[in-house]
Amino acid sequence: MKRKIAAIFAADIAGYSRLVAEDEEETLRRLASYREVIDDFIAKANGRIFNTAGDAVLAEFPSAVDAVRCAIDIQESLRTRNMAYPPSRQMSFRIGITIGDVVERNGDLLGDGVNIAARLEGLAEVGGICVSRAVHEQVANKLSVQFADIGAQEVKNIPTPVHAYMVAMRREDGTYSTPQLKKVAKAAPAPNWMWPLVVGVVCVVAIGVGGFLYFTKLETTQMSSTAAAPGPIAAPSPSPTPTIASKAPMPSPMPTSTPTQTAAVTPTPMPSPPAASGGNFPADMVPFISERLRTYLSNEYAAAGDYKAFALNIAGFTGSALNQQNEEAARNAALDQCQKRADAAQSPRRCELYAVGNNVVYAHGKPPMPPQPWVRHDTVTERAFASKDFPMLRDQAKVRLENMFVPAAKSRSVALGPGGQYFTVLGASTVDESARRSLESCGAFAGVACMIVAVDDVFVVPIPTLLRITGFFHAATNSSIVADARDDVVRKLGDGMGWNAVAVGSLGRPGLGLKAADEQTAVNGALADCVKHDSDCHVIAIGPFTVGPTN
């Protein structure tokens, strides 16, 4: 056995027993899929899983910064995956992180550090992260993360309260949630010498109140004996009927044509066929779909005047219903058609209503997209597509690309997300359509903009081979580069053509190798430029990717 200090990460699923009881096979299948995501993020952050049990994961990290960054990446990735499921079937993790002295035995870790991480996980919100004060002190000035101090918390089997902080998680619109404060640990009991004083004060107050009530009753009795017989007592006026203006409306049990619900106090009228919907249906704004389907929405769907609805999911499956008997029938028919198509293709994504009539009811808005051009051809860096060389994917995903993407008809593309998410579109009418659709679906999965890596038979971005690819490179926010040099790096990288590399030294001063004819020349140029301004230089980026040692 040996002792060491480590950042301990504990995670498990909120409401896992209920999910299993409702649908065991589907829950276990999704758990395996979600665990792949978690395991990948932990490995990329230099963490190590040392124990698992059912839905629980325990991991150690060499630093608190790595642990918190990994936890945020996991929660944001899983939040995106959960968007495809109704709230009752979403699989959300709670995560707790602390720094502690632990004992390692046969690869497992034991000690208070592990126990406290598990208790912090129990304090976390569903889909949230809770950290100890020691972690907060390590991370506060190193990551652009917001925290809420929830104070000292009493937790099971830990003798002293644990001071904890909640990490504010990013919402869909880019704002940050306000964590719900947990119950703060009870204050220490009052010392024994105070009890006589408290009892004395209570007695004095009781005597005073008793005297007041006695004399008040006496005075009231005397007044009653001389008063005239009382007149009839007025009945209380009835409460006014609640109106929408005076009281928040209750949601109607029947769906309506817009997300706004009517008041429940008003009887639901029988539906009548609507007039032509006001305004044109915004077909150009619909994500995930082909141009052919967009034309259908612009023409046949938009022109239809009876009850109609359109449904889709983020994998690109759709369903539409025109000329239905009522609005509810249109909704159900569109969703049913879309879900049958998705199920036939074994897509795990659930369909949602995009429009009812010509009114868009889709809650998620447009997925995040990178700036155009989405595809940039450069003969210097392009090379033949090979599934085994695709960056940031597990071997199983590379096999799927080999079996599905390689033999598929053109136009086809693969979009990659910064967390290893990817999406392919096959047999599109044009390269632009294929790129747009794969970027939209990948962006919806990842929650951030993705990048087109391959089109048809070629990689359209430089794929480093000298160093291991670890993620996406964004010079403007890269913490390895000193802040006052980042804008200059962005400017010099410019159009990104040719092979480009970035190196930094111990002071964070960058060196650049620009528009080289090959990868090795770019790396050599970056290192040579770095040593002019800094020491202990190493390469951190090649092309659009961050890189690290090959292990």
CATH topology classification for 2-167: Alpha-Beta Plaits (3.30.70)
**Residue 158 scores a pLDDT above 90:** no
Q: Mean pLDDT lowest for which of 17-26, 87-96, 262-271, 483-492?
A: 262-271
Confidence tier at 249 by pLDDT (50, 70, 90): very low
Q: Give the C-alpha separation, 71 to 57, whole Å.
A: 12
The predicted structure's pLDDT at residue 190: 43
Q: For the segment 165-194, what is each residue's pLDDT rounded down to a tens digit?
A: 999 876 544 445 555 554 444 444 444 444
Confidence tier at 216 by pLDDT (50, 70, 90): very low
The predicted structure's pLDDT at residue 179: 57
The predicted structure's pLDDT at residue 513: 96
How high does pLDDT run on average in the chain? 80
What is the average per-residue pLDDT within 118-124?
Answer: 91
Q: Give the C-alpha separation, 424 to 27, whole Å.
A: 25
Q: In what helix (H) or strand (E) does residue 69 lie, and over which residues does it extend?
A: helix 64-82
What is the average per-residue pLDDT within 232-237?
Answer: 31
Q: Which two tokens stand for residue 312?
A: 């889709």
Kindly report whether the peptide bond that precedes residue 267 is cis, defined as omega within 30 degrees of 0.
Answer: no
Annotated domain spans of the chain? 2-167, 283-360, 383-459, 469-548
Q: Mean pLDDT lowest for which of 196-205, 223-232, 326-335, 414-423?
A: 223-232
Confidence tier at 217 by pLDDT (50, 70, 90): very low
Kindly report whether the peptide bond that precedes residue 411 is cis, defined as omega within 30 degrees of 0.
Answer: yes
The predicted structure's pLDDT at residue 171: 54
User: Which long-range CB contacts under 8 A does 211-216 form with residues at least 24 apart?
Assistant: none
pLDDT over 90 for what percent of the chain? 50
User: CA-based angle 336:341:345, to the nearest 5?
Assistant: 145
Q: To which residue do tokens 């006695």 refer? A: 214
One DSSP character per residue, 469-511 reads: EEEE--GGG-TTS-HHHHHHHHHHHTT--SEEEEEE-TT--EE
- Compare 346 and 528 and report the one with higher pLDDT: 528
Confidence tier at 447 by pLDDT (50, 70, 90): confident
Angle between helices 24-44 and 64-82 (to 10 degrees): 150
Q: For the segment 50-71, what is each residue's pLDDT rounded down to a tens digit?
A: 988 778 899 999 999 999 999 9
Which 8-state DSSP code applies to residue 297? Answer: I
**Residue 400 scores a pLDDT above 60:** yes
List 311's β-bridge partners, or say none.
319, 353
Q: Mean pLDDT lowest for which of 147-156, 173-182, 265-274, 493-502?
A: 265-274
Full-model pTM: 0.53
What is the average per-residue pLDDT within 221-238?
Answer: 32
What residue type is 456 in one-letter code? Answer: D
The predicted structure's pLDDT at residue 551: 62
The predicted structure's pLDDT at residue 257: 28
- Compare 247 and 346 and report the one with higher pLDDT: 346
Q: Give the C-alpha separation, 312 to 296, whole Å.
A: 14
The predicted structure's pLDDT at residue 252: 29
What is the average per-residue pLDDT within 96-109?
Answer: 88
**Residue 207 scores a pLDDT above 90:** no
The predicted structure's pLDDT at residue 214: 44
Confidence tier at 506 by pLDDT (50, 70, 90): very high
Kindly report whether the peptide bond that precedes residue 373 is cis, defined as omega within 30 degrees of 0.
Answer: yes
Q: For the segment 347-388, what is each residue's pLDDT rounded down to a tens digit?
A: 778 899 999 999 999 988 899 999 989 998 999 999 999 999
The predicted structure's pLDDT at residue 505: 93
One DSSP character per residue, 410-475 reads: SS-EEEE-TTS-EEEE-S-SSHHHHHHHHHHHHHHHHSS--EEEEETTEE-S----SSEEEEE--G
The predicted structure's pLDDT at residue 493: 92
Contact 478, 486 (CB under 8 A): yes
Q: Give the C-alpha separation, 499 to 493, whole Å.
A: 10
Q: Give the C-alpha separation, 546 to 464, whole Å.
A: 10
User: How many of the other CB atoms lie within 10 Å of CB of 422?
Assistant: 25
Angle between helices 64-82 and 431-446 (to 10 degrees): 120
The predicted structure's pLDDT at residue 273: 38
Q: What is the largest CA-CA distance in the chain?
A: 112
Q: Which two tokens stand for residue 53?
A: 């049990």
What residue type is 524 in one-letter code? Answer: N
Q: For the segment 260-290, what is each residue's pLDDT rounded down to a tens digit?
A: 222 222 233 333 333 334 458 899 999 999 9
